[in-house]
Amino acid sequence: MDGFAMGDYGAYVWSCVALTFVIVVFSDWRARLRHKRVYRDIEVRLKALEDRE
């Protein structure tokens, strides 16, 4: 388990790796969310348009 501890620096190194992970995942999650929302908005509008016709 010495590899994980990295002397005294383990906390710094691992927090950087974790932060990278969090930011990439968060950014991608936001992107997916927005895509879904845009998609659904268009869908709702099109459905409403169809119903009117």
Decide: is 13 part of the binding site for another protein (CB under 8 A).
yes
Q: Quick one: CA dihedral 26, 27, 31, 34, positive or negative? A: positive
- Work out whether 25 is an interface residue with another protein (CB under 8 A): no
Question: Which tokens go with 22?
Answer: 């969090």
Residues 6+ apart with CB under 8 A from 6: 13
If one asks whether residue 48 binds another protein (CB under 8 A), the answer comes out as no
What is the binding site for another protein (CB under 8 A)? 3, 6-10, 12-13, 15-17, 19-20, 23-24, 26-28, 30-32, 34-36, 38-39, 41-43, 45-46, 50
